[in-house]
Amino acid sequence: PKQVDEALSSAASLVFGAGLMFSNWGNRMRNDKENLNKLPVLEDQTVYMKAGGDPNIFYYHSYYELKKDEALIIKAVIPKKCFFWNFQLNNHWMESLDYCFFPIHINSERAKYDTDNGNKCVYIVVSNDEYVNKQNTLPKKYRDFKVNWLNTAYHNKGTMLFRWLCTEDYQHPTTEVVKLVS
């Protein structure tokens, strides 16, 4: 009984601590208005390693907030040596959105690719449900690109994560918020 009690107390502490950590990260990202809808570069990834991160991964955590008629466009140039990459949308507490019914993530295996100046790249478009896969609602400069649409699953704000795994000589992804046309 004593071992069970200690194990349950330890598990409860872990659950409480993880929830508090992710809530604090969400609050910090939401309050960082300079990096809202961007994927800021945190060269020192120690904070992620202390939380159990993989040293073979470079993480970009941030916060998105979009109006109903806006989209976030992320462009990532794919390095020649890249084992894997992915991008996902989460709620404020960094929990995955509903991936069973909404396209809320994309990765190197599922993505459609395009090129830019001879470089392989991926365009990810994050928008409200009613605009998903409606290429003609994008600004003209993006309409001919092969894009990967993701859905906010009715969350106009939350956290997002892009990560490179076992990748060398990568460029940091860029972002742009655009107005969608009806």
Confidence of residue 39 (pLDDT cuts 50, 70, 90): very high
Question: Mind listing the pLDDT tens digit for each residue in 91-138?
Answer: 998 889 999 999 999 999 999 999 999 999 999 999 987 777 888 999
pLDDT, residue 96, reads 92
Neighbours of 85 (CB within 10 A): 24
> How does pLDDT run across 42-51, given as a tens digit for each residue?
899 998 898 8
Mean pLDDT over residues 150-178, rounded? Answer: 95
pLDDT at 13 over 90: no
When pLDDT is averaged across residues 17-39 and rounded to a whole number, the result is 84
Which is it for strands 82-90 and 119-127: parallel, antiparallel or unpaired? unpaired
What pLDDT score does 17 carry?
66
| Conformation bin of residue 90: beta by default, left when phi > 0, alpha when psi is -120 to 50 | beta
